[in-house]
Each structure stands twice: as structure tokens, then as C-alpha cells.
């Protein structure tokens, strides 16, 4: 049975001065070891939920559980949570605090009071893993947005979190950068980290995720695997999420081809290409 790594139970949250609650009875859980996507339109509360995920925001009502145990809202326990649950903000400017790349990556490790040689070794590893070696001494304000985003992810991954929360990581990335990021996330996932990405992009969700959660108006409206989400076409369209492009392509294929291909919508263009070449339909 899949275990629940992080679980939100009946969360309610209204920002001070806000008219409506942003989260109104939201319950969802993140299955351990899966690549998960959180979908929902602008302003439905995805970022607010993420801020509950590692204890930055304390629920006004409801509970957050980590491996079945309620979060403890005390300094030491929260510091531990920010190590276990890495949060990458949508805007890297909200995340980067030190003056150079290497300093920024090491910041959390110094907070953990690790020995200097251990810190140095971890920073070196992450500089290589994220292709930041040549920028190690660069001032942060010299970096491009794409480099800042890469650095924000590196600064979180150096803490070796068990769960990685990414808030719209593909916003403002071109197709090439998006593909690279998804490849990086696959590598992170293969090394044992559970990943949850907030996005509006159905194509990414369908191609990449193993588990999809959909929020609307501060509540969960769907949780399940991507194929199951596609069976709820009316729901996806009513939430203005639309269908992945591959579904439209699939639907345009002749009925006989679809039958010969086994009736399952391919998850990526590569998969479609493979199916078509195996079946020799073109
Ligand atoms: N600090 C804040 N103070 C007051 N209201 C806020 C604050 N942060 C967010 N909100 C409001 O809460 C609602 C939910 O915002 P949130 O950023 O959680 O949604 P989201 O689903 O992540 O949106 P997006 O997809 O556009 O990033 C919005 O109406 C937003 O204006």
C-alpha cells in the first residue's frame, strides 16, 4: 500500500484582511515515492497550500501530518521540517538570499551547523549536479532568471529533502529548458525524493506525473492517476484546464489505428512515435 508522506486534513485558511477563505476544507495527501502534480487555476490556493506543507503557515483550522504525525509549530521542529520538505518558490527572488551562488547553496547547511568540510563537499556536489560550477563565485544579481531558478532548486536539493514542492517551476521557461527541468526532476525522483509540482500545464501534468491532484476554490476536486483524470473531461474543461495536446492528436487518429494501438492514449510524443513504429501504421 502507498504510504502518505504529507497529508493535509480539512485545512481552512484566510489571509489577514482577505474577504474569502483561500483554503476551505482542503484535504489531500501526497503518496510517498511518486511524481505528483497539483493542478488548479490562478488564485485557487496552490501556493498557500505549499506554504502549509513545511510549516511556514500554520493552519487556522485543520491539520498537516508528516508520515502520519501532526506538524509541531515550534522553532526546532519547524527547522527540521524545512529540511525534510524542500519548497522552491515560483519567484526565485523570494528564495535567494546570499551574495554569490556557492554562498547561497551553503546557506541552509550553515544553519544546520554542519562541519565546514561536510558543507564544502555537499556544495561541490550540487554545483556539479546542477551545472553551476562555472557560476560558483558569480554574484546572484548577475544571473539570468533561468540560472536563478536553477540555483533556487540547487539550494533546496543540497538539504536532501524527502519531499520536493515546486511552485510552477516551468513558468517562463522555454520548451528546451522545460524538458531539461523535467529530466532533472526525474533524476531527483530516481534518487528517492517524492516530488510535487504545482502547474497549470496539462501537457506537463499528463506526460510527467504519476499522480494528479486538482484543486478548485480552496478544495480538492480530484486525486488519482493521469488516465483517470482524463476520463473526467467535463471536469477538466469546466475548470478551464483543458485537455493535453496529445489527447487531441490521439482523437484525430483513425479509429482502426487506435484499436490496433490498444486504445491507451500515449503519455508523450516519444511514446506515440514508439507505438506507431511498432505497429507499422506509418
Ligand atoms: N499574502 C497574501 N495576503 C493576502 N492575500 C493573499 C496573499 N497571498 C495570496 N493571497 C490571495 O490568496 C489567493 C490564493 O493565492 P495563491 O497564490 O495561493 O493561489 P495559486 O493557486 O498559487 O495562484 P497562481 O496559480 O496564480 O500562482 C489569491 O486570491 C491571492 O490573491
The rounded distance, in Å, linking the Cα atoms of 131 and 151 is 9
* Distance between Cα 191 and ligand 1 center (Å): 32
Q: Where are the domains of the chain?
A: 4-243, 244-282
What pLDDT was estimated at residue 225? 92
What pLDDT was estimated at residue 281? 53
- The architecture (CATH level 2) of 4-243 comes to 3-Layer(aba) Sandwich (3.40)
- The alpha-helical segments, DSSP class H, found in the chain are 46-53, 75-84, 101-111, 116-129, 145-157, 175-190, 202-208, 226-231, 233-238, 245-252, 255-260, 269-279
- Ligand 1 atom at minimal distance to the Cα of residue 215: 21
* Distance between Cα 22 and ligand 1 center (Å): 7
* Distance between Cα 45 and ligand 1 center (Å): 6
* Distance between Cα 27 and ligand 1 center (Å): 18
CA 6 to chain centre: 13
What pLDDT was estimated at residue 253? 85
DSSP 8-state code for residue 264: P
Are 150 and 180 within 8 A, CB to CB? no
Whole-complex ipTM: 0.97
CA-closest residue to ligand 1 atom 6: 15
- Ligand 1 atom at minimal distance to the Cα of residue 41: 25
pLDDT tens digit at each of 282 positions of the chain: 679 999 999 999 999 999 999 999 999 999 999 999 999 988 999 999 999 999 999 999 999 999 999 999 999 999 999 999 999 999 999 989 899 999 999 999 998 889 999 999 999 999 999 989 999 999 999 999 889 999 999 999 999 999 999 999 988 788 888 888 899 999 999 999 999 999 988 899 999 999 999 999 999 999 999 989 888 888 998 998 888 888 888 888 888 888 877 777 888 888 888 877 765 555
- pTM as predicted: 0.92
* Distance between Cα 48 and ligand 1 center (Å): 6
- The residue whose CB lies within 8 Å of the most ligand 1 atoms, and thus the one to mutate among 20, 22, 44, 197, is 22
CA 25 to chain centre: 22
CA-closest residue to ligand 1 atom 24: 42
The rounded distance, in Å, linking the Cα atoms of 77 and 59 is 16
What pLDDT was estimated at residue 1? 66
Amino acid at each position: 500500500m502507498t504510504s502518505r508522506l504529507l497529508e493535509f486534513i480539512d485545512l481552512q485558511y484566510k489571509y489577514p484582511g482577505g474577504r474569502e477563505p483561500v483554503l476551505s476544507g482542503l484535504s489531500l495527501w501526497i503518496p510517498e515515492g511518486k511524481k505528483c502534480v497539483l493542478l488548479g487555476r490562478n488564485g485557487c490556493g496552490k501556493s498557500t497550500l505549499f506554504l502549509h506543507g513545511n510549516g511556514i503557515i500554520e493552519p487556522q483550522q485543520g491539520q498537516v501530518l508528516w508520515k502520519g504525525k501532526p506538524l509541531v509549530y515550534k522553532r526546532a521542529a519547524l527547522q527540521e521540517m524545512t529540511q525534510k520538505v524542500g519548497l522552491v518558490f515560483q519567484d526565485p527572488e523570494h528564495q535567494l538570499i546570499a551574495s554569490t551562488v556557492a554562498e547561497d547553496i551553503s546557506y541552509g547547511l550553515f544553519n544546520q551547523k554542519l562541519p565546514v568540510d561536510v558543507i564544502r563537499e555537499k556544495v561541490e556536489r550540487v554545483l556539479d549536479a546542477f551545472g553551476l560550477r562555472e557560476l560558483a563565485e558569480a554574484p546572484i544579481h548577475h544571473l539570468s532568471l533561468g540560472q536563478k531558478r536553477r540555483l533556487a532548486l540547487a539550494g533546496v536539493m543540497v538539504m536532501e529533502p524527502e519531499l520536493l514542492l515546486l511552485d510552477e517551476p516551468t513558468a517562463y521557461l522555454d520548451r528546451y529548458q522545460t524538458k531539461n527541468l523535467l529530466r532533472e526532476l526525474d533524476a531527483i525522483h530516481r534518487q528517492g525524493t517524492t516530488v510535487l509540482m504545482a502547474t497549470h500545464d496539462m501537457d506537463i501534468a499528463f506526460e510527467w506525473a504519476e499522480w494528479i491532484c486538482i484543486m478548485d476554490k480552496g478544495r480538492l476536486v480530484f486525486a488519482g492517476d493521469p488516465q483517470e483524470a482524463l476520463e473526467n473531461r467535463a471536469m477538466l474543461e469546466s475548470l478551464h484546464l483543458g485537455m493535453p495536446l496529445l489527447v487531441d492528436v490521439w482523437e484525430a487518429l483513425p479509429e482502426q489505428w487506435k484499436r490496433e494501438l490498444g486504445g491507451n492514449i500515449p503519455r508523450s510524443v516519444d511514446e506515440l512515435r514508439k507505438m506507431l513504429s511498432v505497429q507499422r501504421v506509418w
